[in-house]
Structure 1
Amino acid sequence: MTTTVYVARKILTMNPSQPEATHVAIRDGRILAVGPEEAMAGLGEVILDERFSEQIILPGFVEGHSHALEGAMWEHLYLGYFPRRDPDGNDWPGIRTITAMQQQLRDHAGMLSPGEPLVAWGFDPVYFEGERLDRRSLDVAVADRPLVIVHASLHVMTVNSRMLQLAGLDRHADVEGVKVGGDGKPNGELQEMAAMHAVFEALGMNLFEAVGTPRALRRYARVARNAGVTTITDLYNPMTDEGISALREVTSEDDYPVRLVPAMSGMAWTLEEGIERLQNCCEMGNDKLHFGPVKLMTDGSIQGYTARLKWPHYHDGQPNGIWNAPPETLCEMVEAYHQAGIQLHIHTNGDEAVELMLDALENALTLWPRSDHRHTLQHCQIIDHAQLRRAAAQGVCLNMFANHLFYWGDIHRLHTLGHERCQRLEPLASARRLGIPVAMHSDAPVTPLGPLFTAWCAVMRETASGKVLGEQERISVEDALEMITLGAAYTLRLDHLVGSLEIGKYADMTVLDQSPLDCEPGDLKEIGVLATILGGRVHVTE
């Protein structure tokens, strides 16, 4: 059997018993030995690979909350405020004015067939002063075909009059999530899943099911590889039969560069169907495909004003957000999946949603105690300190959306949350002090996938304008690296396989051009990813 030994200037192992090394030996896709050169003695005949001898090797990054939509949304027009790069390496400029957005829509419509729907994404109305985007603004740009703009949060969309008519929503102003204008008629803004589903049904397509194609999954993997990620989630997978087949197909390919953890959308199935489907899927995985968790969606997004906040609710007086299911239904789902022995990943943006789910988890754990459940609250952006203590007592994991500090920190400070709550926005340091297992994430495609940028956000806590929010919640570079490797792996129940470089684990690594521990913390996001190694196979970034 062939043994390959990789040599690096420094290897940061994330193994507390041996934090650094210079050599790592790989056999059959797993780590055989880690340490200095002399630790490689006695391994028999080896192939010495010195191509990374001047670089830094870390465990492959683990992205514990993102979506395969990152590989699907680029089929449509990007209208985000911030510049982005797509999976094919094309740069998209940010859209800074409504006028510019309208022109982009006109230009794109001109390339489509007559009557063909136009779908765009990434728009974020909180960055634009004045009137909130509505159907009239869209009708000025495109009126001859259905037009759908999915907001950056993925929790809200705005559609034109033609789309409202096609979906029959122009006659249903009393449906929750269908916003109305001063004339009492639907204004084109649709909030949360129930209202948006009506649009997808009318179009005969659902963006959230677009992840079930091999093309989308392969593009998603390319994005992950270029960011240094070797284990990634799809944290809201509908788990259709076609989607499961696509997952199995791509992960069985020798050159597929990531391990994939899909979390089944609990809202897409009845409790009985969901539990049975997920339990059956657990037998269909492979080394690159790890079924197991279920995802529940409680509330929406803070910047979209659809998250559920405790009193005094939104800083600027906007009405409280929307539950994606009645609270009693959400609690029933928690109890049922917990009783079935399934790990829960629960979207909780607002602190009222956190409170509801902590209550539900406490009740479920009282009825059916489990010592190592690893139920994980996702986002929990303004979880308060009493809630943090409850989470610690219940053994709950937290996966925080650190990128939010940069992309929406200024908006939260000035509009949605105000000063005090922004000091605890993504309270990573407080969670760490309480011994809570913590990861952090990008929520791609909501923000770009890039663990080193996420680490920079958590360490520096700077907004897009350069203002520091919550200096006491800054964490060290060492802690940030742990949260994007071993910490994230723990929340996925994969820390015995990935997240650190130790004997017996998958030989999954990331190659960097400099050490995160040696550069200035403010330069973390500038570190280059040169390659990833998955199961001993090298994948060069593009």
Structure 2
Amino acid sequence: MGCNEKDPTVSADAIYSGGNIITMNDAQPSVQAIAVKDGKIIGVGDTNKINETFKSTNTQLIDLNNKSLLPGFIDAHSHYFNSLQVANQAQVYAPPSGTGKDVDSILTAIKKYADENNVPKGELIIAYGYDDTVMPNGRLLNRDDIDKVFPDNPVRIDHVSMHGTVMNSLALKKYGYNDQTVTPAGGVIVRKEGTNEPYGLIMETAFLPVLAQAEVMSAEQEIAATKAGQQLYAQNGITTAHEGATHLNQFETIKRASDANANIIDVIVYPFITDVDAILAKYPIDQWLKYNNHFKVGGIKVTIDGSPQGRTAKFTTPYLAGGPAGEQHWLGELTFPQDTINTMIKKVYDLNVPLNIHANGDGAIDAFFEAHLSAANGDLTKDRNITMIHAQFSRKDQLSKFKEYKIRPSFYTLHTYYFADAHLKNRGKKQTDYISPMRDAIDIGLHPTNHTDFVVAPLDQMMMLSSAVNRLSRHNEVIGTTQRITPLEGLKAMTIWAAEQYNEEMNKGSLEVGKLADMVILDNNPLTIEPTKIKDIKIVETIKEGNTIYMAK
């Protein structure tokens, strides 16, 4: 500053300029500079004007060097709690995300993990990311395979859908499964041929007892796991994370870490419907829907069906490949009976909190509509802040009901890449091409969001954006040309529209004066780069309320 210049009335902590600033604000889509103070945006606009108004001797001037600055990404749906766990688990995703392409490679990856971590005999080993849809010749993992490599350790290899697991004999014993275990309604327990012995694969409601027996962490472990897990989100430009089906023990872990000020990002949890009463007893509803130490209860989660790649999603027409245990004329199953779903939805409506409903197949979506008709007390079009998680196999006629009933779809376009082959085999080309119909949803006036469902798919936000824009499969085939969207629409689905999903658009989702300085810097511009190269864009820096929480090395 010159000697005659005075410090401004309001001095910015930092001013960002010299790059592509994409605001997600339609009234001012791009600007030259942004000023930040005390974790909030205090100015956006022309560089000279911003400097003149907010620059002082104490202001940090940050040159973007032609990189791109955007609002921080808002996670519309993942399973945040799993991020606390996977730091201590073996990763067996299928290529290109991992090496788990067949039985041998999966077991090799787990053996390598066990050896590198000096896992002692008798200790539980957990792996995540098992994708049976890519296994050659339909040769799937079973109990005996794992027993051969791990005779002395209980081993649990969680299915990529997060709706099940494959266990060896010691793990089956640990979690209480045997030949006397009855398969619950809505569940799958694959039995060894010719016997009633569980053969390893446990899915859906039969898997719930496993989730209820989470390993106990010490207070120090909880804080360390929280920091490690949240760093996974920060590395991917995410400043708000979603915990998509929170059970009581998970809730208490997340809450304790939050109370210990361990959070570097915002965490929004959705208690699972079966745990709501237990959670309400400890955390009354008047404390919900507002942040405390970057922690918020956002509403309630109800699951209606399973996963299409696991062949447990509920459809109105049969799976072409039959059911997961060889069932013929298989439609999939609802997670709970229809009358139970009706009761669950009414409970959420009566509590007057947002609802996240998991529904993949068109039959499950119909089941939710039926529950809505039963529970809505004649007021079908009231805005109840309902988000349908996945909504993947929505029929076109169902989208109009989404609009009429004010239901926001949170789509899952990554399936066009990771699971296209499975869907083509199970559902056929016409239905697969219409998976996650973002184009049609946007065109009728909906504001859909998009998500990774981590750990089902990696948190990679640029891959998620690319899947919405390009819809390319592993084999570089377009899955549903008519449902491609623009890069700007794809970005809105992970910023401003995701903020709307959480009723936080007044504070997040765009770069505007008064909003939080939650931002991400990318090494390229997703609006101008060749669309198939969007997936290669790197996260350079993630900023939460003005503070850098991740910087690429």
Q: TM-score normalised to the size of structure 1?
A: 0.90
Aligned-partner residue type, residue 427 of structure 1: P
Report how far residue 373 of structure 1 moved.
2.1
* Matched ranges for 1:117-516 at <5 A: 117-128=124-135, 129-172=137-180, 174-176=182-184, 177-199=188-210, 204-205=213-214, 213-240=222-249, 242-249=252-259, 252=261, 256-270=263-277, 274=280, 277=283, 279-282=285-288, 285-286=291-292, 288-311=294-317, 313-318=318-323, 319-367=330-378, 371-413=382-424, 415-516=425-526
Mark the CA change 1:347 to 1:402 in structure 2 (over 3 Å): closer, same or farther: same
Report how far residue 20 of structure 1 moved.
0.6
When structure 1 is superposed on structure 2, of 321-330 and 403-412 the one drifting more is 321-330
Mark the CA change 1:363 to 1:8 in structure 2 (over 3 Å): closer, same or farther: farther
Question: What do the CA deviations read for 1:36-64 (whole angstroms, capped 9, x no partner)?
Answer: 12442444747251332432111111111
For residue 26 of structure 2, what is the aligned residue in structure 1?
Answer: 16
Q: Is the 8 A contact 1:105 1:141 kept in 2?
A: no
| Separation in 1, partners of 2:88, 2:174 | 22
| Separation in 1, partners of 2:280, 2:306 | 22
**Secondary structure at 2:36 match in 1:** strand
Aligned-partner residue type, residue 307 of structure 1: A
Q: Is the 8 A contact 1:339 1:368 kept in 2?
A: no
**Secondary structure at 1:205 match in 2:** coil
Q: Is the 8 A contact 1:164 1:188 kept in 2?
A: no
Could you say what the CA RMSD is over the residues aligned between the two structures, in angstroms?
2.7
Mark the CA change 1:398 to 1:276 in structure 2 (over 3 Å): closer, same or farther: farther
Mark the CA change 1:324 to 1:184 in structure 2 (over 3 Å): closer, same or farther: same
Report how far residue 434 of structure 1 moved.
1.1
1:101 aligns with 2:106: yes
For residue 7 of structure 1, what is the aligned residue in structure 2?
Answer: 17
Mark the CA change 1:209 to 1:378 in structure 2 (over 3 Å): closer, same or farther: farther
Mark the CA change 1:283 to 1:133 in structure 2 (over 3 Å): closer, same or farther: closer
**1:519 is matched with which residue: 519, 526, 529?**
529
**Secondary structure at 1:328 match in 2:** helix
1:54 aligns with 2:66: yes
**1:74 is matched with which residue: 87, 106, 110?**
87
Q: Is the 8 A contact 1:358 1:391 kept in 2?
A: no
Report how far residue 274 of structure 1 moved.
4.4
| Separation in 2, partners of 1:136, 1:533 | 48
Aligned-partner residue type, residue 128 of structure 2: W
Question: What do the CA deviations read for 1:348-403 (whole angstroms, capped 9, x no partner)?
Answer: 11111111112222443344567432200001111111111111111110101111
Aligned-partner residue type, residue 76 of structure 2: G
Q: TM-score normalised to the size of structure 2?
A: 0.88
Aligned-partner residue type, residue 86 of structure 2: M
Report how far residue 426 of structure 1 moved.
0.9
**Secondary structure at 1:538 match in 2:** strand
Mark the CA change 1:56 to 1:168 in structure 2 (over 3 Å): closer, same or farther: closer
Aligned-partner residue type, residue 265 of structure 2: V
Q: Is the 8 A contact 1:225 1:541 kept in 2?
A: no
Question: What do the CA deviations read for 1:20-42 (whole angstroms, capped 9, x no partner)?
Answer: 10111122211111111244244
Mark the CA change 1:103 to 1:24 in structure 2 (over 3 Å): closer, same or farther: closer
| Separation in 2, partners of 1:332, 1:154 | 25
**Secondary structure at 2:94 match in 1:** coil
For residue 327 of structure 2, what is the aligned residue in structure 1?
Answer: none
Aligned-partner residue type, residue 334 of structure 1: I
Mark the CA change 1:275 to 1:307 in structure 2 (over 3 Å): closer, same or farther: farther
Mark the CA change 1:105 to 1:513 in structure 2 (over 3 Å): closer, same or farther: closer
When structure 1 is superposed on structure 2, of 155-164 and 46-55 the one drifting more is 46-55
| Separation in 1, partners of 2:338, 2:280 | 19
Q: Is the 8 A contact 1:192 1:324 kept in 2?
A: no
Aligned-partner residue type, residue 282 of structure 1: W
Structure 2 unaligned spans of 5+: 1-9, 324-329
Aligned-partner residue type, residue 104 of structure 2: T
Q: Is the 8 A contact 1:65 1:441 kept in 2?
A: yes
Identity level (%): 24
| Separation in 2, partners of 1:24, 1:247 | 33
**Secondary structure at 1:290 match in 2:** strand
Q: Is the 8 A contact 1:80 1:123 kept in 2?
A: yes
Report how far residue 276 of structure 1 moved.
7.8
**Secondary structure at 1:220 match in 2:** helix
| Separation in 1, partners of 2:218, 2:143 | 25
**Secondary structure at 2:87 match in 1:** helix
Q: Is the 8 A contact 1:293 1:344 kept in 2?
A: yes
| Separation in 1, partners of 2:110, 2:125 | 8
Report how far residue 416 of structure 1 moved.
1.4
Report how far residue 218 of structure 1 moved.
1.5
| Separation in 2, partners of 1:361, 1:207 | 38
Aligned-partner residue type, residue 80 of structure 1: Y
Mark the CA change 1:189 to 1:317 in structure 2 (over 3 Å): closer, same or farther: same
Mark the CA change 1:266 to 1:207 in structure 2 (over 3 Å): closer, same or farther: farther
Report how far residue 214 of structure 1 moved.
2.5
1:65 aligns with 2:72: no
Q: Is the 8 A contact 1:78 1:122 kept in 2?
A: yes
Q: Is the 8 A contact 1:209 1:238 kept in 2?
A: no
| Separation in 2, partners of 1:325, 1:209 | 34
Q: Is the 8 A contact 2:87 2:228 kept in 1?
A: no
Aligned-partner residue type, residue 291 of structure 1: V
Aligned-partner residue type, residue 69 of structure 2: I
**Secondary structure at 1:317 match in 2:** coil
Q: Is the 8 A contact 2:87 2:225 kept in 1?
A: no
| Separation in 2, partners of 1:136, 1:165 | 14
Report how far residue 288 of structure 1 moved.
2.5
Structure 1 unaligned spans of 5+: 85-92
Aligned-partner residue type, residue 155 of structure 1: H
For residue 122 of structure 2, what is the aligned residue in structure 1?
Answer: 115
Q: Is the 8 A contact 1:139 1:161 kept in 2?
A: yes
Report how far residue 238 of structure 1 moved.
2.3
| Separation in 2, partners of 1:480, 1:364 | 33
Report how far residue 105 of structure 1 moved.
4.2
